Amino acid sequence: MALNLDHLRAFLVVVEEGSINRAAARLLRAQPAVGRQIRLLEESLGTPLLERSSSGVQPTNAGEQLIAHARRIFRNVAEAEAAMARVATEPAGDLIVAIPTSLADQLGPVLFGAMRDRHPRVRLTLLEGDSHAITRWMAGNEADIGVLPEGSSDTSLHAIECGRQVFCFCGPADGFPVLPASMPLGDALSYPLALSIPPNRLRRLVDSAAAGIGREVRPVLNASSSHLITALMRQGELYTIRPRIGPVPAVVDGIAFIPIAEPAIQRGISVVWSTARPLSPAGEAARATLEELLRGMDGAQAPG
């Protein structure tokens, strides 16, 4: 025995209308065709489903039981159709996202979690690098979408600024019994600093701000690895200057982030993608997610 869904739907409409004639009008079919569907359904199930009288039709005992099953079947069919429609339009495929080293710890885990939960058919590859690396990856089509400091300055990229990073003096939190609200740049430059190797946008901003107060940046260590700098900070050997989006001053994993002042140093952070090609559906999904996450982080900035 195999249920014919078309016959089953005709049965439900006949029950709802209480009349084969009215059901035929609703189904846009001839009355004999609907009557034949009901007979075929009764034959396939081996039992009468409707009692006919001059006033119309009523379900038999078997018909009453079938009604509940039929409605559940059509609910399941509708849910299956909706699920398949979502799958057909859901973003999917491989996507390469480039994020700056200065945001990797803050943004990487939450981006991965959000994309996994919202768009499970998108397979992410995350690239981490400085601004020059991200610019190169975007220009060479090695990344589909990226997060770039001062991204609006590159005319080959669409850019949506989503927040601002505040440059902070960073060191072991236990070296500050009371966390200061800010630190003058001149004082920060007096500490033994480890900084990223120039040229990059971070160093350019720090060097420019130092020149503005008549100072020169002389780090005791230039390093390409932010992880090495973090390890040296944890040992209490060195300090650094890093940008951060979100509330400052703050202590994150034992590292103090104290905003630089006199002068303050900030930069915009943008979601970027190439002007030469449109974003895929997966790219659009990542763009919307990145915008939401970055604006959320920026919205958590402590009042100035």
CATH number (domain holding residue 56): 1.10.10.10
Cβ atoms of 97 and 146 closer than 8 Å: yes
Find the mean pLDDT for residues 10-34.
92
Tokens of 96: 């390469």
Per the domain annotation, does 189 fall within a domain?
A: yes
Per the domain annotation, does 165 fall within a domain?
A: yes
pLDDT tens by residue, 27-39 = 999 999 999 999 9
- Answer with the one of 48, 68, 88 that is the final residue of a domain: 88
Question: Are 172 and 258 within one domain?
Answer: yes
pLDDT tens by residue, 146-176 = 999 988 788 899 999 999 999 999 999 999 9
- Answer with the one of 53, 88, 123 that is the final residue of a domain: 88
Question: Are 122 and 265 within one domain?
Answer: yes
Amino acid letter, 239:
Y
Find the mean pLDDT for residues 217-238.
92
Question: Are 156 and 72 within one domain?
Answer: no
Q: Which domain holds residue 242?
A: 93-299
Question: Are 59 and 178 within one domain?
Answer: no
Per the domain annotation, does 227 fall within a domain?
A: yes
**3 state DSSP class of 95:** strand
Find the mean pLDDT for residues 124-138.
93
**3 state DSSP class of 261:** strand
Per the domain annotation, does 304 fall within a domain?
A: no
Whether this model's pTM surpasses 0.85: no
Q: What is the pLDDT of residue 52?
A: 85
Cβ atoms of 135 and 149 closer than 8 Å: no
Find the mean pLDDT for residues 254-273.
96
CATH of the domain at 295: 3.40.190.290
Question: Are 262 and 191 within one domain?
Answer: yes
pLDDT tens by residue, 41-87 = 999 999 999 998 878 899 999 999 999 999 999 899 888 877 777 66
Place of tokens 């069919």: 77
| Helix axis angle, 31-45 to 20-27, nearest 10° | 110
